[in-house]
Amino acid sequence: MSEIHNVVIIGSGPAAHTAAIYAARANLEPVLYEGFMAGGIAAGGQLTTTTEVENFPGFPDGISGPELMDKMRAQSTRFGTKIITETIAKVDFSQRPFKLWPEYKLDKDPVLAHSIIISTGATAKTLDIPGKDTYWQRGISACAVCDGALPIFRDTPLVVIGGGDSAAEEATYLTKYGSRVYVVHRRDELRASAIMAKRLVEHPKVEMVWNSVIQEVSGDDKQLRSVTVQNVKDGSSKTLEAGGLFFAIGHKPNTDPFVGQIDLDEDGYIKTVPGTTRTNIEGVFAAGDVQDKTYRQAVTAAGSGCMAALEAERWLSEEE
């Protein structure tokens, strides 16, 4: 019979590695499946697409996203975590031990585990706009709270695309840094709640660009410099001077392998018992952005990873 692991962690971001560090130090000998370009992103999650991280405690001068994740990964392995660069594509949580199958081993014997920590994160939705890949992280971002305070976005016009609560929140947040904030929305009214929409529209530094979509972005060799928008009603175009473009059109939780296996909410996020990382399946825990649609920060993900490991350790000891 295959070895049954005490705990298998699925993911590669701050939640996964914090859970691994705590589980390893508790002598649980965790196995972490970090994925191979899972969700189109390298191991390390969304932080690997971020150039400078200035709001993670302990790094007063800032640190690049990839370097921060390299340090977390090194800390996991230092305490004995076994890291496997494969993507978990299928699971069976119907009975214990739990069964998991890597993407290219669906016809092989499953990986077995007494407990599972899911920390597969969520992927920010973007649009396929000409110039996006060229200026990604050189003026284009999908997280205003993460990146908005960076020097390149200060005292320059900024553009936010979206019309829901997230867009309203991010645009309002950016008014602290940008000289002006344009909000581009393809309709003539926001989907955001009434109070947030009112606050946004009435803000003196915000200019609404109604009935419009982003047509293209352009810049110099260093940074984004302008955003061209097109009116969907009359077809006219105009170019906005801008040093930053922020996507605020939502996130997709990376939960495809868990559909039908665990309780998800209407947006696909894993449901957890409030104040815990417990799911509806005993012995299965969820941490980080895969269950958090509110904060989505590296530090909150790390905190929930700690919670998941402690809860898994406690649960395993009670099951013995």
Q: Which parts of the chain have pLDDT scores under 70?
A: 1, 37-42, 44, 51
Q: Determine whether domain 126-247 maps to CATH 3.50.50.60.
A: yes
Contact 33, 25 (CB under 8 A): no
Residue 304 phi, psi dihedral angles, 5° rounding? -70, -25
Alpha-carbon distance 61 to 63, whole Å? 7
Which H or E run contains 319? helix 298-319
Alpha-carbon distance 292 to 283, whole Å? 19
Q: Give the residue among 10, 3, 18 at the shortest CA–CA distance from 262.
A: 10
Alpha-carbon distance 200 to 16, whole Å? 36
| Span 245-290, pLDDT tens digits | 999 998 899 999 999 999 999 999 999 999 999 999 999 999 999 9
- The pLDDT, as a whole number, for residue 166 is 86
- The pLDDT, as a whole number, for residue 124 is 86
Q: For the domain 4-123+251-319, what is the CATH code?
A: 3.50.50.60
Q: Read off the tokens for 2.
A: 């295959």
- The pLDDT, as a whole number, for residue 222 is 86
Contact 181, 206 (CB under 8 A): yes
- The pLDDT, as a whole number, for residue 102 is 95
Q: Which of 61, 92, 128, 147 is catalytic?
A: 147
Beta pairing partners, 242: none
Q: Which of 107, 109, 128, 146 is catalytic?
A: 146
**Which amino acid is present at 154?**
R
Residue 224 phi, psi dihedral angles, 5° rounding? -60, 140
- The pLDDT, as a whole number, for residue 42 is 65
Alpha-carbon distance 153 to 13, whole Å? 26
Q: Which of 143, 234, 289, 306 is catalytic?
A: 143
Among this protein's residues, is 306 annotated catalytic? no
- The pLDDT, as a whole number, for residue 309 is 98
- The pLDDT, as a whole number, for residue 41 is 66
Residues carrying CATH 3.50.50.60, the chain: 4-123+251-319, 126-247
| Span 217-249, pLDDT tens digits | 999 978 999 999 999 999 999 999 999 999 999
Neighbouring C-beta atoms of residue 267, cutoff 10 Å:
12
